[in-house]
């Protein structure tokens, strides 16, 4: 019997890094469970040993933990319905495969790979769907026993009855129908005794009392096979909800050929988990308003399968970048300080020492100009090293015959000030402009070039205050020497 408490699961295969589509599936299951006080289960479907990647399970769990998607039952946590790795449940699947054979809902198939290849090629020549022809369904009990006793390689196939209409309800797509004539006699147990996805999936969902199967649209065509299995085993069918495909801008299916698809890639690039979760949540779901910025608690309280779209969702990287900026700017200085120090360790400035006050000052003046915390080192490099070159267009436009003399006068003024404040730097600049009967801009622009090497950035007096008097003087000396 299906549980009275809503129970959902995320069941990835450990074949590599977690795909952003997988992250969305995990997130929707998580949000759904948390919204209605249900249980979220992590199950690892690792029965395809040819595609198994060492360390992938640990990476999946680590990535989910990083994203803040916490499961209630699963590997490393355990639970009432474990084990949660399918490779540790092989005997269970074998038991139900035998039951299906006894009920004549499945059968042994001893066909060689050569015969199957030939059959597939003949069907392709005739432009027919590639399907097994039920050749072994007609074997006698004596033939089956003889083949089994001699150890002839075999699989167990689902016995799909032709001429039937398979109906089921999908929470997102409503009533769905398939003709059994297009449903293949799917392999349930492979020659290596491991189950295929289809049998293991149905058995585990039943035994783990899963109430709602929320998964990607690519599994919609497999659902008729699962419905047949549920009915053959006389089990209650869970509620299905197939999520829309993720699409590139050209509406092709999201793939690595057109950009990053692994969560790990976005993590390495410096995207905030809050931004990625916010973005992924909106790939196929809306709360019904124009709101786009969400914290996780807001997503939990707002989420409903009723508002998941049927049509594919465009993966708009510009929107993700915008969300990353928004979430970055909402963080406190202390949070950003921790992130900046982490990035500092991996930067070319890792050997240098900076106190918290210095880094927080940098954060405060740079936070409105960056989308990623590591961009502080790129756009505000001059806070961490002296400029060695000067922006060519800026030099042509902002440096003239008077610039060197003006900066010398400015340098002389601040040399006389002990521990200058922002106001001191500003007053000295105004005095220098007045002394030369020129506008403040004719001091500001060459001064900005001197201390930063570029023509844009935070307020010039913020830069001067942060880097301090000594570095300001040294950089003025450097630019005069290089440009004159």
The three-class DSSP label of residue 451 is helix
Q: Which residues contact 16 (CB under 8 A, 6 or more apart)?
A: 53, 56, 262
Is the bond preceding 240 in cis, omega lying within 30 degrees of 0? Answer: no
At which residue do the structure tokens 């799917």 appear? 186
How far is Cα 464 from Cα 415, in angstroms, rounded to an integer?
13
Bridge partners, residue 108, by sequence: 156
Bridge partners, residue 167, by sequence: 177
Quick check: is 471 catalytic?
Answer: no
Phi-psi region of 104 (alpha: psi -120 to 50; beta: other; left: phi over 0): left
Bridge partners, residue 7, by sequence: 39
Helices 273-281 + 20-35 axis angle, to 10: 80
* Terminal Cα distance for the chain, rounded: 86
How far is Cα 60 from Cα 76, in angstroms, rounded to an integer?
12
Q: Is the dihedral of CA 242, 218, 294, 18 positive or negative?
A: positive
Per DSSP bridges, beta strands 187-189 and 174-179 are unpaired
Cα→Cα distances 54→18, 49, 93, 164, Å: 14, 10, 24, 42
**DSSP secondary structure of 355-418:** -HHHHHHHHHHHTTT-SSTTHHHHHTGGGTS--SS--HHHHHHH--TTHHHHHHHHHHHHHTSS
Burial of 104 (0-12, 13-18, 19+ CB in 10 A): exposed
The three-class DSSP label of residue 89 is coil
The active-site residue, picked from 104, 118, 256, 310, is: 256
Question: What share of residues in the chain are helix, strand, coil (percent, to 5)?
Answer: 50, 10, 40
Tokens of 449: 């070039």
Q: How many CB atoms lie within 10 A of CB 405?
A: 12
CB 439 within 8 A of CB 347: no
> Angle at Cα 403 formed by Cα 399 and Cα 404, nearest 5°?
120
At which residue do the structure tokens 């009967």 appear? 437
Catalytic residues: 256
């Amino acid at each position: 019997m299906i549980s009275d408490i809503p129970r959902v699961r995320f069941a990835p295969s450990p074949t590599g890094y977690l795909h952003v589509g997988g992250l969305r599936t995990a997130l929707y299951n998580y949000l759904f469970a948390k919204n209605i006080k249900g249980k979220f289960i992590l199950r690892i479907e690792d029965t395809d040993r040819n595609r198994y990647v060492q360390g992938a399970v640990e990476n999946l769990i680590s990535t989910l933990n990083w994203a803040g998607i916490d499961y209630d039952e699963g590997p490393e946590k355990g639970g009432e319905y474990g084990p949660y790795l399918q490779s540790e449940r092989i005997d269970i699947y074998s038991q139900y495969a035998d039951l299906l054979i006894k009920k004549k809902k499945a059968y042994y198939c001893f066909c060689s790979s050569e015969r199957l290849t030939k059959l597939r090629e003949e069907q392709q020549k005739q432009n027919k769907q590639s399907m097994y022809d039920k050749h072994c369904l007609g074997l006698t009990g004596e033939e089956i026993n003889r083949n089994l006793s001699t150890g002839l390689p075999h699989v167990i196939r689902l016995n799909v009855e032709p001429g039937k209409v398979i109906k089921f309800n999908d929470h997102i797509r409503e009533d769905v129908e398939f003709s059994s004539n297009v449903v293949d006699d799917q392999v349930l147990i492979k020659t290596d005794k491991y189950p295929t996805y289809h049998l293991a999936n149905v058995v585990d969902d039943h035994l783990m009392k899963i109430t709602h199967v929320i998964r990607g649209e690519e599994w919609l065509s497999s659902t008729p096979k699962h419905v047949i299995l549920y009915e053959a085993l006389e089990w209650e069918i869970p509620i299905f909800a197939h999520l829309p495909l993720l699409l590139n801008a050209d509406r092709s299916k999201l793939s690595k050929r057109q950009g990053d698809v692994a969560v790990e890639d976005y993590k390495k690039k410096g995207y905030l988990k809050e931004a990625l979760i916010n973005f992924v949540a909106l790939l196929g779901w809306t709360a019904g308003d124009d709101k786009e910025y969400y914290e996780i608690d807001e997503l939990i309280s707002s989420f409903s399968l009723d508002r998941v779209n049927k049509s594919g969702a465009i993966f708009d990287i510009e929107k993700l970048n915008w969300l990353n900026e928004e979430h970055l700017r909402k963080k406190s200085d202390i949070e950003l300080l921790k992130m900046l120090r982490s990035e500092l360790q991996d930067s070319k400035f890792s050997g240098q020492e900076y106190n918290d006050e210095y880094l927080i000052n940098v954060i405060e003046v740079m936070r409105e100009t960056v989308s990623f915390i590591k961009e502080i080192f790129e756009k505000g490099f001059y806070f961490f090293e002296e400029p060695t070159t000067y922006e060519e267009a800026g030099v042509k436009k902002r440096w003239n015959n008077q610039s060197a003399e003006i900066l010398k006068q400015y340098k002389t003024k601040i040399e006389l000030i002990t521990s200058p404040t922002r106001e001191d730097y500003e007053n000295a600049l105004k005095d220098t402009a007045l002394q030369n009967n020129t506008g403040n801009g004719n001091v500001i622009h060459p001064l900005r070039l001197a201390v930063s090497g570029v023509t844009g950035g935070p307020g010039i007096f913020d830069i001067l205050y942060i880097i301090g008097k000594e570095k300001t003087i040294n950089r003025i000396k450097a630019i005069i020497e290089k440009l004159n």
